[in-house]
């Protein structure tokens, strides 16, 4: 059951292309690793985390490659969990002071706790559906560090048929 495909080098490669550095060479090194295109054209989502909110911009993207750039605008560490679930975003089950991830849905991936002022990126291939982005450091979800996130069918993403 592979619902998410990690594409770890994508952001790095994009940065290398943008700056024209020799990092570019490293992008072609993987055996059979695709690195020049983002599935579905690719979407970019800026996520701002702080006390006590989480705000994705945009909050809805077409299915395919999605790069999250999560910025911690707060004064304490936050993390970002991406959960696929049909539960209401404000009604995830709680156990031991935090969201019970196993009972809440399918955790697609996460950015582990990162420091105030930092930005972390995560690139995934996402299927259509209802998702929740949240911080699962104890107590943070309950205080509002979450947002619903929607992945729509990819029909209009790629600019038509060939
Ligand atoms: Cu947090």
List Cα–Cα distances, 133 to 19, 54, 99, 101, in angstroms.
Answer: 31, 8, 12, 12
Q: How far is the CA of 56 from the centre of ligand 1 (A)?
A: 14
- Ion ligand 1 — residues with CB < 5 Å: 78, 135, 137, 140, 145
Whether the bond into 52 is cis, omega within 30 of 0: yes
| Amino acid 35: pLDDT | 39
The CATH class, in words, for 38-152 is mainly beta
Residues sharing a CB contact under 8 Å with residue 31, sequence separation 6 or more, in sequence order: none
The full 3-state SS of 38-87, as one line of letters, equals CHHHCEEEEEEEECCEEEEECCEEECEEEEEEEEECCCCCEEEEEEECCC
Percent of the chain with pLDDT over 90: 69
Whether the bond into 58 is cis, omega within 30 of 0: yes
Q: How far is the CA of 119 from the centre of ligand 1 (A)?
A: 14
pLDDT band at 155 (very low <50, low <70, confident <90, very high): low
Between CA 35 and CA 14 the distance in angstroms is 9
Q: How far is the CA of 50 from the centre of ligand 1 (A)?
A: 7
The pLDDT tens digits of the residues spanning 93-142 come to: 999 999 999 999 999 999 999 999 999 999 999 999 999 999 999 999 99
């Amino acid at each position: 059951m592979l619902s998410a495909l990690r594409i770890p080098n994508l952001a790095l490669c994009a940065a290398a292309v943008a700056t024209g550095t020799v990092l570019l060479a490293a992008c072609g090194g993987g055996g059979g690793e695709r690195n020049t295109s983002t599935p579905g054209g690719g979407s970019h989502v800026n996520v701002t985390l702080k006390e006590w909110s989480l705000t994705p911009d945009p909050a809805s993207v077409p299915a395919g490659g999605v790069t999250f750039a999560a910025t911690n605008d707060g004064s304490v560490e936050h993390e970002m969990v991406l959960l696929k679930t049909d539960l209401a975003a404000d009604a995830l089950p709680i156990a031991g002071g935090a969201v019970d991830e196993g009972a809440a849905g399918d955790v697609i991936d996460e950015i582990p706790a990162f420091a105030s002022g930092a930005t972390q990126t995560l690139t995934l291939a996402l299927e259509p559906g209802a998702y929740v982005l949240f911080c699962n450091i104890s107590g943070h979800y309950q205080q509002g560090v979450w947002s619903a996130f929607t992945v729509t069918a990819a029909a209009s993403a790629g600019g038509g048929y060939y």
